[in-house]
Structure 1
Amino acid sequence: LCNTIFKEDLFQISHTANSETTKCQKETKSVKKRRITLIDTPGFFDPERSEEELKSEIVSCITECAPGPHVFLIVLKVEKFSEQENQVIDKIKDCFTEEAFKHAVVVFTHGEQLPEGMKIEEFVSQNRNLSDLVQKCGGRCHVVDNKYWKNKWLNKYRNNKHQVTQLLNTIKAMVDKGEYYTNEMIQVVEREIQQAEEEIRQSSPDMSKKEIREKAKRIVSNLLKKIVGVTTGAVLGALLGVPVMVFAVVKALMEMKTKAIPVEAVVAVNVCMFYYLHLNDC
């Protein structure tokens, strides 16, 4: 999806049968005179991924999107929804808070699977669970096909250029309200990043602003990854604003800080399918 939006193969995908994202990745590019930052993440509800691996990727997402994303893109496939797919939708609805849903858009891939003449809204309406999810997202849903809809000029609807334009228009309308998604945990992470930036700036005055920011995010990310006693579900819940989980992660982070672990020691230990977007006018 990210490569389709950017019209360029910037994001790595695995060459397995399902071609899913395996690592959190961030890229920024100008699209239609707006600077867009996309953060591509692995599927957070993939039962085949280990708890430790998922926790690490969620932490990477938290530090990359601080002080908060403008939009969550919840990415699903156009396919027959089995019990397993419906369980994933249930998990999404359970994890997302009402505030997070206000900033969410459902985007379907594999649009070629739609019967000829069918629009995505009709497809959604055929599944009550799916329809409920889209309604929680304010009715916002779009469809693309990363493989087959690249040059379909004879059919405006089954055309990525048209569909991406519609998606960006939806995002622009959300961003123009002047709000972005955040919560106490993300704000604490942003403050930690800013504090790390100041320390790096003083110790390494020749580093560029971008280099300082990236190093500060690595420091905070590694600190978060070292938190013990907090489950992967709690970290994901904190990202999405579940109050008790926000409190648990913030408390654990503050306790980690009181141990006064040296910055460089933390970095040395481990330096490093939602999407998040930041948009700024060029």
Structure 2
Amino acid sequence: MDKRKKGSPTELRLMVVGSSGPSQFLLTNHILGRKEFAKNISYISGSRKTTGELAGRRVAVINGPNFYDKGISQVKRKMELRRSKCLCIPGPHVFLVTFDMEKISLNELRTPKLMKERFGRHCLRHCMVILAYEGKLEGAALEDRVQKTNWPLKELIEQYGGRFHVFSKNRRYRSRDRELLQKIERMVASLGGVCFSSRTFLKAEDCVEKEVKKLEKQRTREIEKAWTEMEKKYIAEDLCHQKDTYTANVGAEIRAKAEMDNGWLRTSLARGVGTGFVVGAVMGALFGCIEGPGGMVLYGIIGGAVGGSAGGTAQVAIEHMEDRVAPPARLNFNSIFINRFFAPPRP
């Protein structure tokens, strides 16, 4: 058995996704108990990872662009999807799929299909529907209202295995935090305590780990210098404490940077754009040769630009196809790079 499968036993990784509107960002505020996003924000252009506690349990919440955002290009949206996977490695324990309870549309019945296309065909097992509600109903009365509501909402919930939770947009009503955590923990336990993963999550993890090692190597001299200075100022237990704190902070900084910028994010899209540009330029030049040398140059430039854009989109789409045929999750712990700078100091 792969010992990395269950990930961190203490931190829950929650990937919050939404189809439109501010619901997913309001949910993040609700989970963390603080105003991480403005009240009326309806989309973000870049993926974000925030940490905090839900009813005393440590959680990491990952937000990406909404499924139907029109404010960013298709290529940008897919790039941010890739980045959100890097922020959530080795994979989320739960996808919290958010909707506005009062505004469920027929179009939003497509979200299960979009989820499988973006994350892999087995991801629905790890999904829970979260409904944002603006009102004062609580507990059983609120759950009963959902069960008796219109058919699109009930059909949507059934596609996610009947799992759902309702949270109030009014932050004064936070008494159900414990209930939300219990639902999440029961769901994770029913799945054997493992997180979700797929081929692209595994690829993201490998690339992040490589970037971590690269950044640690680049900061070797800086770490050596800092440790030398500490050895002049501290002794015994104080020295150990200072070194532990320093290395933990540097490690967290390196990790965060590697998740946001690594070889997978830098080269995958560039490879698709480059290939598309070359092919587009050649095809454009062939069409342009009809009008002579000037036409070849002009059509070559136009063809390269169009081909580059199409190539970038195609490169990311290939990864989505890999997830659609991926086997059930092979789940991994984050591997920990240890060298002499990150080993406990000798007393």
Alignment check: 8 A CA contact 1:75 1:108 kept: yes
CA shift in 2, pair 1:111/1:226, >3 Å: farther
Cα distance in 1 for residues equivalent to 2:37 and 2:57: 23
- For residue 130 of structure 1, give the secondary structure of its aligned residue in structure 2: helix
Give TM-score scaled by structure 2 length: 0.57
Tell me how far apart the structure 2 counterparts of residues 114 and 90 of structure 1 sit (CA, whole Å): 28
- Displacement of 1:142: 0.9
Instruction: Report sequence identity in percent.
Output: 23
- Structure 2 residue aligned with 1:174: 187
- The structure that is helix-richer by fraction is 2
What is the CA deviation profile of residues 50-79 of structure 1, one whole-angstrom value per residue up to 9, with x for unaligned ones?
213312321221110121110100010011
Partner residue in 2 for 1:107: 130
Q: Deviations over 1:122-175 (max 9, x none)?
A: 4355343432331232211111122x3x33xxxxxxx3322x221111111123
Judge conservation of contact 1:21–1:40 (CA < 8 Å) in 2. no
Are residues 174 and 12 of structure 1, via their aligned partners in 2, closer, same or farther at CA, if it must alter by over 3 Å? same
Query: Distance in 2 between the 1:129 and 1:77 partners?
Result: 13
Aligned to 1:21: 43
* Residue type of the alignment partner of 2:325: P
Does 1:197 find its partner at 2:212? yes
- Judge conservation of contact 1:59–1:224 (CA < 8 Å) in 2: no
Larger radius of gyration: 2
Change in CA separation of 1:50 and 1:107 when aligned onto 2, cut-off 3 Å: same
Deviation per residue, 1:84-103 (Å, 9 max, x gap) = x2213214335425521111
| Cα distance, 1:124–1:19 mapped onto 2, change above 3 Å | farther
Where do 5+ consecutive residues of structure 2 fail to align?
A: 1-26, 224-246, 273-310, 327-347
Structure 1 stretches lacking a partner, 5+ long = 152-158, 245-282
**Structure 2 counterpart of 1:70:** 93
Secondary structure in structure 2 of the residue aligned to 1:30:
strand
- Contact 2:121 2:324 (C-alpha < 8 Å) held by counterparts: no
| Aligned CA distance change for structure 1 residues 37 and 197 (closer, same or farther; 3 Å) | same
Q: Is the 2:270–2:312 Cα contact (8 Å) retained in structure 1? A: no
Write the mapping of 1:74-113 to structure 2, written as runs, cut at 5 A. Answer: 74-81=97-104, 85-96=105-116, 97-112=120-135
Structure 2 counterpart of 1:219, one-letter code: N
Provide closer, same or farther for how the CA distance between residues 106 and 51 of structure 1 changes in structure 2, counting only shifts above 3 A.
same
> Does 2:199 correspond to 1:160?
no
* Residues 1:54 and 1:94: Cα distance change in structure 2 (over 3 Å): closer
Q: Is the 2:112–2:124 contact (alpha carbons within 8 Å) kept by the matching residues of 1?
A: no
CA 1:31–1:114 in 2, change beyond 3 Å: closer, same or farther? closer
Taking the aligned partners of 2:87 and 2:57, their CA distance within structure 1 comes to 19
Q: Distance in 1 between matches of 2:136 and 2:72?
A: 27
TM-score, scaled to structure 1: 0.69
| Bigger RCO of structures 1 and 2 (CA < 8 A, at least 6 apart) | 1
Distance 1:224-1:199 versus aligned 2 partners, 3 A rule: same
Aligned ranges for residues 229-268 of structure 1 at < 5 Å? 229-231=311-313, 234=317, 237=320, 241-243=323-325
Whether contact under 8 Å (2:269, 2:312) holds in the other structure is no
Q: Aligned ranges for residues 41-60 of structure 1 at < 5 Å? A: 41-60=64-83
* Residue of structure 2 in register with 1:210 after alignment: 252
> 1:169 and 1:107 mapped to 2: Cα distance?
14
Over aligned residues, Cα RMSD in angstroms? Answer: 3.1
Within a 5 Å distance, the mapping from 1:132-151 to structure 2 comes to 132-146=155-169, 148=170, 150-151=171-172
Letter matched to residue 92 of structure 1: P
Q: Is the 8 A contact 2:31 2:53 kept in 1?
A: no
Paired residue for 1:31?
A: 54
